[in-house]
Amino acid sequence: MEKADIGMVGLGVMGSNLALNIAEKGFRVAVYDRDPAVVQQFYKNAGALSDKIIPCETFEALVENTRQPRPFIFLIKAGQPVDDETARLRLLLDKQDIIIDSGNSDYRDTVRRLKALGPNDPTFVGMGISGGAEGARHGASMMVGGTEAAYERIAPVLNAVAAQYEGEACVALMGPDGAGHFVKTIHNGIEYADMQMIAEIYGVLRDGLGLSAPAIGDIFAKWNEGALNSYLIEITAEVLRTQDPESGQAMVDIILDAAGQKGTGRWAAIEAQMMGVPASAIEAAVGARAVSSMRAERALAEKTYGTADHTVELEDQAAFINQLEQALLAGKIAAYAQGFVVMQAASKEHGWNIPLATVARIWRAGCIIRSQFLDDIAKAFDDGEADNLLLTPAFVEKMKASSGALRQVVAKAALGELPMPALSAALSYFDSFKQSRGTANLIQAQRDFFGAHGFERLDKQGDFHGPWGA
């Protein structure tokens, strides 16, 4: 039997879908799962694609049936399972073989795993995948971290199964070791912020204007035809217009308001904090999910303080809805700007040389945060216009046109007791960023007063202390 071009370890939803995608694109794939019954059922269900699939019930069979240098994609639970399966598989592999962890792993684990491999061991690749099960099956955005030699070996398969945007595959090498998983982490951080901002605007439309879910869905569908065109806006419209077949109510109206999280958004906020890079919109989104889980406390607080009247008094509702559209655009731009600054800082700190323009390009299809202004982001980094997107001509123009609406919306929401943690954080970041003299001079004075930390002066060079208590 002809050997497989690539191996797959883990036949859960993501692994099985990606394996079918690989087979459909004409590559032979050897598949393995710890449960042999899962392997056989997958092979049976593959139908016409089964002639491209080699079912393997042991690691030995998986290795034997994959051509050298052998690449193996892991799509299993992140953390200890990846360590365990790496330890088992590496004993059977040669120096040129490749283990590819494609789960939502912490990039620090990827760096550690690569360093733990000896000179005669296989190499380790960390590959972030965005697009969920649908992306795995029909084309995802893939962010690879590893050696150039390893990437060259797997690139033909990845280029074929990745999402395509105007003929370009949405996959690329982000840099060595943990670069791919780091970029995926920041992607998810931006995703958190984007989703939270959309939810905040939904809250204004629902509670402030009293609109029904289907009516709000129609508004988002209209917005998706303009500057906000993106996957998340598109699915928001569909979600809001979907009816529950059991109750006949809008589906979204009977879903518990407690958002889950798997950790990647939190990692993005933590990494930004560790590098001293502001990512306030992402941090606010992570915090909002945590607050959403505090259902008992929130119910008690509402009973204690009373139910707020969220009604927003308006002279022109249509004009305000247009403001909401522009406010969401401004907030999204600020969140993307923060995410790219975090990637830039990490790239410098770790020596990764992450190609930021390429990041924007491979996010244009397949991934969750794909949106129409990623072309503008790619061009800005190609042209080397600025380190921060908020200083690039295209986005300066967009923010000048939309930031006023963000300010008005945040103000009206505050007066109506409508929470806007992410959008208000985006506005504060924007206002702080464009203020040449802020208020940190007072903080420096306080730090020097109680801790003798010193400060710089405006009128001369050096490190100084104040005459406190003199």
**Which residue, of 177, 195, 217, is where some domain finishes?**
177
List beta partners, residue 371.
Answer: 230
Tokens 């500057």 sit on residue: 227
Tokens of 116: 């733990």
List beta partners, residue 124.
Answer: 99
Q: pLDDT tens string for the chain (470 positions)?
A: 799 999 999 999 999 999 999 999 999 999 999 999 999 999 999 999 999 999 999 999 999 999 999 999 999 999 999 999 999 999 999 999 999 999 999 999 999 999 999 989 999 999 999 999 999 999 999 999 999 999 999 999 999 999 999 999 999 999 999 999 999 999 999 999 999 999 999 999 999 999 999 999 999 999 999 999 999 999 999 999 999 999 999 999 999 998 877 778 899 999 999 999 999 999 999 999 999 999 999 999 999 999 998 988 888 999 999 999 999 999 999 999 999 999 999 999 999 999 999 999 999 999 999 998 999 999 999 988 878 999 999 999 999 999 999 999 999 999 999 999 999 999 999 999 999 999 999 999 999 999 999 999 999 999 999 999 86
Nearest-angstrom CA–CA distance, 49 and 25? 10
Let me know if 25 is a catalytic residue. Answer: no
Let me know if 283 is a catalytic residue. Answer: no
Nearest-angstrom CA–CA distance, 462 and 453? 13
Tokens 């033909």 sit on residue: 156
270 and 355 within one domain: yes
- CATH code of the domain covering residue 258: 1.10.1040.10
Q: Which long-range contacts (CB under 8 A, 24 or more apart) does 260-267 make?
A: 260/289, 261/192, 261/286, 261/289, 262/104, 263/104, 264/104, 264/184, 264/185, 264/188, 264/189, 265/188, 265/189, 265/191, 265/192, 265/289, 267/106, 267/185, 267/188, 267/189
What's the pLDDT at 313? 84
Give 152's contacts (C-beta < 8 A, 6+ positions apart). Answer: none
237 and 116 within one domain: no
To 5 degrees, how large is the angle CA 86–CA 1–CA 82? 10
Residue 155, domain extent: 6-177
Q: What values do phi and psi take at 8, rounded to 5?
A: -125, 125
**Which residue, of 177, 205, 222, is where some domain finishes?**
177
What's the pLDDT at 454? 95
Half-sphere exposure of 175 (CA within 13 A, CB side): 25
To 5 degrees, how large is the angle CA 157–CA 18–CA 101? 80
409 in any annotated domain: yes
Nearest-angstrom CA–CA distance, 37 and 46? 14
308 in any annotated domain: yes
74 with 14: CB under 8 angstroms?
no
Reading phi first (left if > 0) and then psi (alpha if -120 to 50, else beta), residue 74 is in beta
130 and 154 within one domain: yes
pTM of the predicted protein model: 0.94
189 and 170 within one domain: no
To 5 degrees, how large is the angle CA 129–CA 134–CA 137? 80
What's the pLDDT at 236? 98
465 in any annotated domain: no
Tokens of 289: 């999910």
Alpha helices in 126-256 (DSSP H): 132-138, 148-161, 179-203, 213-223, 231-240
What's the pLDDT at 385? 82
73 and 190 within one domain: no
442 in any annotated domain: no
Judging by DSSP bridges, how do beta strands 29-32 and 53-56 pair with one another?
Answer: parallel
Tokens of 213: 């879910």
375 and 250 within one domain: yes
Tokens of 233: 């806006």
446 in any annotated domain: no
Out of 52, 95, 115, 191, the active site residue is: 191
160 in any annotated domain: yes
23 with 5: CB under 8 angstroms?
no
366 and 406 within one domain: yes
Count of domains in the chain? 2
Nearest-angstrom CA–CA distance, 268 and 273? 9
Neighbouring CB atoms inside 10 A of 175's CB total 22
Nearest-angstrom CA–CA distance, 333 and 392? 12
Nearest-angstrom CA–CA distance, 335 and 200? 14
199 and 151 within one domain: no
316 and 253 within one domain: yes
347 in any annotated domain: yes
220 and 121 within one domain: no
234 and 148 within one domain: no
Out of 44, 148, 152, 184, the active site residue is: 184
Which strand (E) or helix (H) includes residue 72? strand 71-74
91 with 123: CB under 8 angstroms?
no
319 and 257 within one domain: yes
**Which residue, of 130, 160, 177, is where some domain finishes?**
177
- CATH code of the domain covering residue 173: 3.40.50.720
467 in any annotated domain: no
